[in-house]
Amino acid sequence: MRVGVLTGGGDAAGLNAAIRAVGRTTLRSGSEFVGVVNGWAGLLDGGETIALDDRSLIGALREGGTMLGSSRTNPLAIDRGLENVEASLAAQGIDALVAIGGDDTLSVAARLAERGVPVVGLPKTVDFDLAVTEYCIGFDSAVAIVVEALDRLHTTAASHHRVMVCEVMGRASGWLAVMGGIAGGADLVVIPEFPISLDQVVEVLNERKSRGRMYSIVVVAEGAEIEGLHVPDDPAAPKDAFGHVSLSQRAVGERLGGAILHATGHETRATVLGHVQRGGSPVVSDRIWPTRLGLAVTDALFEGTFGICAIVQDGGVAFVPLSDVVASQKRVPRSLYDVVARVN
Ligand code: F6P
């Protein structure tokens, strides 16, 4: 048996821990283990893989990023892309594939599974918007970065009596903003799920000032819409193969900071955390869960179970069909969003 593993989409801390767990289980069963290079790009046109042995996995547990490389290549957007992947799997001699990724990567895996390809999945996304699972590789590490940044912004905001706007990742969901905001003591979070107006932002900040709070911390998700804040659509903004427009030029944090200064006269600074949230070593949970999920999904694969994703449910490891994981996206519930406003 030859088992392949790939990582697709944005990188995240904890991917290497998952690769290590899949690899160690595979190699100890006497099977071969290969890494697919650069996500689905490495399974097109014959494919590109690297053989991984036990030594190549040493140290992987604590390394950030992905040792295999990643891409946003989408076989579903390529003519006969799924057939191309199947032919590449055959050319590389891969008998079973572990795909690690978010809804884009796993939607390709789900389609391959429908066609009878022996594939299983592991959930990864710093956006935390995958349905069903209580845990996604990389989210906890990214939240830890947000919290550290907010702690640091607090001390400088307090010293200079400023408003600090912190822009975090989150295209369509505000999990990083809300969870980071709760743990980091944000005074206001602005997220895609619950759009608010610039007037409401100003009202919150003025109300805080009237209570004698001389500084405020605002966390805004990069994809948030704010009524009254002009964020022009950039027709030239690049789109990835899954149709997502790059949000890097949107600059919602900078624009919000400028608008707050204009509307309140309160000195304001903006910080964009960007890819700092995805880089660096995994926190404890992003070592333990990728290891547990990686072991579980590899055991399932050796038992001949395919088309499933290992997830966390009710605090333990569970399996669901790949199609369930990509059927919908998980959004921040109102009750969680409201926490920040109740303690600011
Ligand atoms: O993978 C999800 C994500 O981290 C989003 O939160 C963010 O908008 C996007 O990736 C950034 O993508 P890239 O690394 O391609 O700029």
CB distance 247 to ligand 1 below 6 Å: yes
CATH of residue 217's domain is 3.40.50.460
| Alpha carbon of 274 to ligand 1 centroid (Å) | 9
Residue whose entry in the numeric block shows the structure tokens 């978010």: 102
Nearest-atom number in ligand 1 for the CA of 127 is 6
| Alpha carbon of 244 to ligand 1 centroid (Å) | 9
Binning pLDDT at 50, 70 and 90, where does residue 236 land?
Answer: confident
What's the chain's average pLDDT?
A: 97
Binning pLDDT at 50, 70 and 90, where does residue 260 land?
Answer: very high
Are 80 and 184 found together in one domain?
A: no
**pLDDT tops 90 at residue 237:** no
Are 302 and 180 found together in one domain?
A: no
- Does the predicted TM-score (pTM) go above 0.85? yes
CB distance 9 to ligand 1 below 6 Å: yes
Is 332 a domain residue? no
CATH of residue 90's domain is 3.40.50.450
Bigger pLDDT: 137 vs 249: 137
| Alpha carbon of 178 to ligand 1 centroid (Å) | 17
Domain that holds residue 300: 2-138+282-325
CB distance 171 to ligand 1 below 6 Å: yes
CB distance 252 to ligand 1 below 6 Å: no
CA-angle at 245, arms to 244 and 251, nearest 5°: 135
11, 103, 104, 127: the catalytic one is 127
Q: What is the pLDDT of residue 277?
A: 98
- In sequence order, which residues have a C-beta less than 8 Å from that of residue 35 and are 6 or more positions away? 4, 5, 6, 19, 49, 50, 52, 67, 68
Binning pLDDT at 50, 70 and 90, where does residue 180 land?
Answer: very high
CB distance 136 to ligand 1 below 6 Å: no
**Quick one: which H or E segment has residue 3?**
strand 2-7
Known catalytic membership, residue 140 = no
Total structural domains within the chain:
2
| Alpha carbon of 10 to ligand 1 centroid (Å) | 6
**pLDDT tops 80 at residue 256:** yes
pLDDT tens, position by position, 83-131? 999 999 999 999 999 999 999 999 999 999 999 999 999 999 999 999 9
Rounded to whole angstroms, the Cα distance separating 72 from 117 reads: 21
**pLDDT tops 80 at residue 165:** yes
